[in-house]
Amino acid sequence: MKARQFIEDLDLKGRRVLIRVDFNVPLDENQKITDNARIVAALPSIRRIIESGGKCILMSHLGRPKGQRVESMSLKPAAEELSLLLEKNVSLAPDSIGSEVEKMVSQMKEGELLLLENLRFHQGETKNDPQFCEALARLGEVYINDAFGTAHRAHASTAGVAALMEDRAVGYLIRKELEFLGAAVLDPQKPFTAILGGAKVSDKIIVIKRLMEKVDALIIGGGMANTFLKAQGMEIGDSLLEEDALETAKNLLDEAKKSGVKIHLPVDVCSAPELLQEVETKFLKVEDKVQAGWKILDIGPESVKQFGSVIQNSKTVLWNGPMGVFEYPAFASGTRGVTEALAKATDAGAVSIIGGGDSAAAVNQFGMQDRITHISTGGGASLEFLEGKELPGVSVIPEK
């Protein structure tokens, strides 16, 4: 995989630098940011621009306002948070395009920052509308993409505007993502284990097939494991099941056997009649029948032990998708156990990569984020990259 043009390759001094960041941060009911990790992740590229004497024009989306101005989705909290982190004023533009914004940009001095208002207040952002792209392009002379979480979308700010600008590059965050995910796919240290969880097999068929060409072991948990268990004739009660993926699950198990890849499925599970904070739970071996009306909502302790042993004997571990409904304490022990095993493996020298989304949230919830080699900032983008798909927000940046 060839390297892309990088922020350090461009002269930024005195130039208007339009940078796509991912400030799609969670807010509470008082519009306070509950997790600033995405803003922190963008700091190296932002600092590079302002320290190089560039005029830093930041653009991001927040939530899904669907082309309407929704005040609760304003980027004002992000501007305030970034000001605190940089100890420097960050102005918030009243819009993302238009004459007023252009005037603010024209008055910027070297090293100053301006955050454009939520891109998705305009339908032209997600539609990659040519006029919207041109209006954004008028604001900058250089384009930087450092928003990996949206790099799989061909939106105006990730693809359309970049194509209109001659000088364009990726920032530190995207380069790091491509290096870690690329190494995992192209040249992993062996033994290489992939852990896949989450709800649906159908969402991950392509990535399972692609990883089976690379991995020595594949651990499957979460709701998607139910479909594999059912495909092997296990009784799973009222658990989440993809009926139309049963044949696919059987075929994947056969393919793994032929290619010498060991697939590890849960050997025991935690079940309950309902998904509630306070509820009766039962641990069962997978051969035991899950009774009607009960659901599998986590893996059991023996599965945690077996999965942990595989993880700790690995040199590279890639994880995407939780083992259970970890947001509920009664069903968090499986995901916590896998997280702890991964942290121990990393402490012992393994390369651990979290593929964003719920897995990243779980690692943070259990306070293990500092003991993981790399936590991806893009769930959907990292999955599509692992599937071998081209990411529009990356492919628009020229190779070196």
Q: How does pLDDT run along the chain (400 residues), one tens digit per residue?
A: 678 999 999 999 999 999 999 999 999 989 999 989 899 999 999 999 999 999 999 999 999 999 999 999 999 999 999 999 999 999 999 999 999 999 999 999 999 999 999 999 999 999 999 999 999 999 999 999 999 999 999 999 999 999 999 999 999 999 999 988 887 777 889 999 999 998 877 778 888 888 888 899 999 999 999 999 999 999 999 999 988 889 999 999 999 999 899 999 999 999 999 988 889 999 999 999 898 999 999 999 999 999 999 999 999 999 999 999 999 999 999 999 999 999 999 999 999 999 877 888 899 899 999 999 999 888 788 888 887 888 999 999 999 8
Q: Are 167 and 193 in contact (CB under 8 A)?
A: no
> Do 114 and 235 sit in the same domain of this protein?
no
Domain count across the chain: 2
Sign of CA dihedral 253, 239, 275, 329: negative
Could you give the residue ranges of the DSSP H alpha helices within the chain? 37-51, 76-86, 99-106, 123-126, 130-137, 161-163, 172-186, 205-212, 222-231, 246-259, 301-312, 333-347, 357-365, 379-386, 392-395
Q: What is the DSSP letter of 189?
A: P
Last residue in a domain, options 122, 143, 176: 176
**pLDDT at residue number 389:** 85
Please give the Cα distance from 207 to 182 (Å, whole number).
Answer: 14
> Do 158 and 202 sit in the same domain of this protein?
no
Last residue in a domain, options 120, 153, 176: 176
Q: Is residue 392 part of a domain?
A: no
> Do 170 and 194 sit in the same domain of this protein?
no
> Do 167 and 193 sit in the same domain of this protein?
no
Q: Is residue 350 part of a domain?
A: yes
Calculate the alpha carbon distances from 285 to 76, 196, 205, 237, 274 in Å.
51, 20, 26, 13, 19
> Do 153 and 205 sit in the same domain of this protein?
no
Q: Is residue 147 part of a domain?
A: yes
Enzyme catalytic residues: 38, 200, 357, 380
Full-model pTM: 0.85
> Do 294 and 358 sit in the same domain of this protein?
yes
Q: Is residue 54 part of a domain?
A: yes
Other beta carbons within 10 angstroms of residue 182's beta carbon come to 14
Q: Is residue 181 part of a domain?
A: no
> Do 167 and 192 sit in the same domain of this protein?
no
Domain that holds residue 24: 7-176
> Do 143 and 225 sit in the same domain of this protein?
no
> For the domain that residue 94 is a member of, what is the CATH number?
3.40.50.1260
Q: Is residue 391 part of a domain?
A: no
Angle at 382 between CA 356 and CA 148, to 5 degrees: 85
**pLDDT at residue number 378:** 81
Please give the Cα distance from 161 to 156 (Å, whole number).
Answer: 6
Please give the Cα distance from 150 to 162 (Å, whole number).
Answer: 14
Q: Is residue 232 part of a domain?
A: yes
> Do 155 and 205 sit in the same domain of this protein?
no
Closest by CA position to 31, among listed 69, 81, 94, 92: 81
Q: Is residue 105 part of a domain?
A: yes
> Do 24 and 145 sit in the same domain of this protein?
yes
> Do 119 and 156 sit in the same domain of this protein?
yes
Last residue in a domain, options 176, 211, 231: 176
Q: Are 28 and 68 in contact (CB under 8 A)?
A: no
> Do 249 and 334 sit in the same domain of this protein?
yes
Please give the Cα distance from 116 to 96 (Å, whole number).
Answer: 5
Q: Are 55 and 91 in contact (CB under 8 A)?
A: no
Please give the Cα distance from 271 to 40 (Å, whole number).
Answer: 38
Q: What is the DSSP letter of 241?
A: -
**pLDDT at residue number 1:** 62
